Structure 1
């Protein structure tokens, strides 16, 4: 019974396959369909009335088709088994000859067409629309888990599982797109003014919420939608008493603050380095000027010292010449004085002799 219930819950079309004529046993087996109500718990709290459960069961139950193989039904008066036997004989004859009865081939085509018309994407009724393979697997796992624990199938729990899976996927996908957009902006623009980051966040958040709405439009469970919409918002931004306290925006702003401090520190270091470089250049320039002036003074001193030495040699030569000339003059004067003294002495002697 539980396996039959699982097939009913997971299928879009349920085909009841029987062979040849309809017998009492075939009708008895159909009682399984009505007995499914005994293992079925709806999407509510399990306390629905009998009528409510039946209405919900009918809405959730897949399209039902009874396939009678190897038989035909005729509304013309015939003997009880003639028509069936004739068809069976024709089909067996056709098989022996390597071909099928043309009427049978048409009936098969009609059956396939009807199944195709009834087969639609599976829905997690009534809270979500068409589900994908991953969500279908989630719902199947939920049902199988219920099989191992109880004799009742809680469709509501399975549907909740599918809704949760769907909305979680939408939130993660949307949040990832938001993060990629913000990360690209941060990589290209940080550091910058905080208001620019907030403006970018507002644009990305608007896009994210629109994406969430588009991807979750098949979910008509307002409570779950609001819960996961708020979850997405909290992933992007969180406020407490009007102050930003968390979320991805807070992380970006903190990163911006960190990079701003790093930029200020780097700029200060660059300014200090430039100032030191300029001071060193000034010092080097002053030292170079002093060295040039010193070299010039030494050159001038050497030139002037050379000239002075030449002048001193000239003066010395002139002095020596003058001393030599003066010595000659003095010698002459001394010689004349000596001569005059001798002459004076001679004359005195002569006077003394005369007297």
Structure 2
């Protein structure tokens, strides 16, 4: 993208809607996306920081007046400067608290979307982190009204364990602009992160004022245990005029430029690809689907459901993955020229099936009951079965045409009476054997070569008997022996046709067995990979919660620290659940293997019948 586009439009009536042009851009991005969103009060320079992250001097709108410039949410997709094969998605949100709007609920939805969509959420404010700044961020304490953990339970986010928040909330960076104070406390210098933690310290007690004081702070600590702070000095000296984006680099304060560079390097290095629950990474296409899902839910007057969004996305992606895999299989099988020998069909089928399953598993996720993969396997087997039938028909047609062409000299001799004379039967037999030899040597006859030859010779049985009976050069005994020999040859050809059929059946059943084994192998690898991702995310959440617990203990809030132990225990239980995935894989494998064996037996019995 050469420049940002609207992602979420904010209509005059406060109705939020996705912009089709932005969704079209996202649909074309198959790479993982790292999403950095910035939120905060209007006219605090949010767009400037995003332009610097984009390594551009311009891009997102930069205002020159007290009127807010950004409406809704703007998006800019760029190659990630630090991660190969990854797209950096920058989201610039409408400023909070715009007096021209006067709709705090609309502000809350914009902030909630920025939070739900981002890998890293940057909160941009000016001055200091004081009580007023925290009151401006009180939207965090209202998230319980705007997010639902699961559908059908009536349970909102605030009623769920905070441990679940940590698993899908973004990292949090507070950018404090135009900071003029010294980072000094308790007669010693402090870091920016210490400054943030001191601002978020809780007050002891349970009174109404204490609760009001602690509410936003407690929510930030619970929901964003991974926190970072950057303070930026004024960009220009008191004697200078001009906005930083309008001035050359040399006119900006070195300290300001240094902080901007530190900020950009941290955000680019620390921001992870956007993930949903269980460590499922989003690419541009799925990110766009999530955006649409959230906005449709909000427009309908309902509350976004995180688990429901995840389930809907998985169902949509898995169905699309199966369709994509089926197309891949068909593409591979189109390379087979019919009629083909069975071994060539088997080779093409096994190769195409493996490629199709790879396509499916690359895109699919959370297919935990394997229903989509089982459905895909049924469709692939149906495709293969239809191709086998097409091949049989092509083989029959090819063999009929070949036999008709080779039989023309024989039929011409019959019409001319060439065999209606003494010794005619031996001449007929010699010509017919030349026909059979030429037929066997002809290539590309397919899987019905022996069957069609058997039918051809059986159809000429009366003709051969008539020639034999008319040959006066043979005695009755010789005719009887010749007839017995002909019957033996016909029986031998029928046996060859039966052997050909049995070999094809065995090869097809072997194809079924190989395809099911390959399906099971890939399914188990996929489940194990997803389990490892989920375990990694749970461990990350546990680490964050334990760090927060340690902070509370150091600050003397032992009771709040003890409450966090319940959340850590909940995460441990989730981790133990993920540890059982190996057993789950084996159980599912056993169930599917039983079903596959039953299917093969059914196919075998049907074919033999």
TM-score in terms of structure 1 length? 0.63
> Does the alignment pair 1:24 with 2:131?
yes
Counterpart position of 2:313: 162
Counterpart position of 1:240: none
Could you give the per-residue CA deviations for residues 83-139 of structure 1, whole angstroms, max 9, x where no partner exists?
xxxx6596333547971221111111111122212322212x114522221111111
Residue number among 376, 379, 385 corresponding to 1:235 in the alignment: 379
8 Å Cα contact 1:12-1:118 kept in structure 2: no
Counterpart position of 2:357: 209
Aligned length: 259
* Secondary structure class of the residue paired with 2:268: helix
Counterpart position of 2:256: 104
* Secondary structure class of the residue paired with 1:122: coil
Give ranges in structure 2 of 5+ residues lacking alignment: 1-107, 188-232, 422-609
Match runs of 1:83-94 below 5 Å: 91-94=237-240
8 Å Cα contact 1:136-1:162 kept in structure 2: no
Match runs of 1:178-257 below 5 Å: 178-185=329-336, 187=337, 189-193=338-342, 197-198=345-346, 200-213=348-361, 215-216=362-363, 219=365, 221-223=366-368, 226-237=370-381, 247-257=382-392
Give the CA deviation at 1:272: 4.1
Give the CA deviation at 1:273: 2.8
Counterpart position of 1:261: 396
> Does the alignment pair 1:117 with 2:224?
no
Could you give the per-residue CA deviations for residues 174-201 of structure 1, whole angstroms, max 9, x where no partner exists?
322221222212x2x52434x6534542
> Does the alignment pair 1:145 with 2:252?
no
Give the CA deviation at 1:146: 0.3
* Secondary structure class of the residue paired with 1:93: coil
* Secondary structure class of the residue paired with 1:184: coil
8 Å Cα contact 1:11-1:122 kept in structure 2: yes
Compute the RMSD of aligned alpha carbons: 3.2
- Please say which structure displays the higher CA radius of gyration: 1
Counterpart position of 1:175: 326
State the alpha-carbon separation in 1 of the partners of residues 252 and 376 from structure 2: 60
8 Å Cα contact 2:151-2:308 kept in structure 1: no
Give the CA deviation at 1:30: 1.5
State the alpha-carbon separation in 2 of the partners of residues 206 and 22 from structure 1: 57
Give the CA deviation at 1:261: 2.4
Match runs of 1:307-322 below 5 Å: none
Give ranges in structure 1 of 5+ residues lacking alignment: 79-86, 238-246, 287-355
State the alpha-carbon separation in 2 of the partners of residues 136 and 64 from structure 1: 20
* Secondary structure class of the residue paired with 1:92: coil
Q: Which has the higher helix share?
A: 1
Give the CA deviation at 1:279: 4.5
8 Å Cα contact 1:143-1:153 kept in structure 2: yes
Match runs of 1:17-96 below 5 Å: 17-43=124-150, 45-46=152-153, 52-76=160-184, 91-95=237-241
Deviates further, 88-97 or 62-71: 88-97
Counterpart position of 1:129: 280
8 Å Cα contact 2:318-2:367 kept in structure 1: no
Could you give the per-residue CA deviations for residues 250-278 of structure 1, whole angstroms, max 9, x where no partner exists?
11011012112212331343244333344
State the alpha-carbon separation in 2 of the partners of residues 128 and 173 from structure 1: 23
* Secondary structure class of the residue paired with 2:125: strand
Give the CA deviation at 1:203: 4.2
TM-score in terms of structure 2 length? 0.38
State the alpha-carbon separation in 2 of the partners of residues 52 and 95 from structure 1: 50
